Amino acid sequence: MNSRKLGNSELTISEIGLGCMSLPTDEKTAKWIVDAAVDHGITYFDTADLYDRGVNEKLVGKALSSKRQDIILATKVGNVWNKDGEGWHWDPSKKNIEFQVKESLRRLQTDYIDLYQLHGGTIEDPWDDITDAFDSLKKEGVIRAYGISSIRPNVIKEFLPKSAATSVMMQYSLLDRRPEEWFDVLEENSVSIVTRGSLAKGLLTNDWQKRIAKTNSYQTYSQDELQSTLEKIAGNATDVHAAAIAYVLQSPVVASAVVGASSKEQLEATIIAYNKALSLDVKELGELTKKDVYNAHR
């Protein structure tokens, strides 16, 4: 497994990361998947305090406790579960960030977080306070680096110049190329993309025909457009799964493709696809898909 430097930080992360949100809540099965990921060379694990009301962090923390020094652990903050347990609300205040990081540390069974990410954001947020909170935590050694998980251009443009952020997590795939418009801006700020959704809910795997039968649309693609586009991709790539991974990793601004797995079989399919992707030239595949841009939050 190859690794890449994460933005302007000192962190180096594996080109495939494990998105832990998909992990089963069964402790034994979750550990089985995490152990398999480590065995395959994955060093980057991404979770959030929001997932399963903190249970996901507990599972990840316990599964990785004996391997902590060998992995890069990322989590997120900003979404707070309502007291009645029904839904959550947004709280990016400095007070909440400083409180929630302690809760995440406890659940993750660690005394530091490698990458701490703001889990969203709006243009009205108190950005100076947010940046101050992250900078203070970094200075204290509680976090090693910080970033943001957002697809809102106005939020990203507000946050990056005022901060020492090192990464932006964005949905990015052959079927969602909206981030490409902002590659130059991110590179100018020495910031890396950590992708999510790069398999487009399974549409960009070798099971795409089964997936599309259960899908009415995806992003701006109608079902008919999806069918036609995926047929073209499959006709130009011997392995759709591998091509999907190769496409997002072809840009140096991308540090890692974070892929979820709810079973060991899904994880191993991604590892097989990644190994094939290393030798693929997929630049021309972009000509088969839409180059959409963000219409909102500009």
112 annotated active-site: no
Whole-angstrom distance, CA of residue 122 vs CA of residue 90: 10
Mark 37-60 as b/e (b = at least 16 C-beta within 10 Å).
bbebebbbbbbbbbbbebebbbbb
Q: How many CB atoms within 10 Å of residue 151?
A: 21
- Helix axis angle for 27-39 and 264-277, nearest 10°, is 20
Q: How far apart are CA 46 and CA 58, in angstroms?
A: 13
Distance CA 75, CA 146 (A): 10
Burial class (CB in 10 A: 0-12, 13-18, 19+), 66: exposed
DSSP 8-class letter at 239 = -
| Helix, strand, or coil (residue 245) | helix
Cα 56 to Cα 124: distance, rounded to the nearest angstrom = 29
* Candidates 51, 172, 247, 274; catalytic one: 51
Q: Are 48 and 107 in contact (CB under 8 A)?
A: no
- Residue position matching structure tokens 């701490």: 116
**Which residues are part of the catalytic machinery?**
51
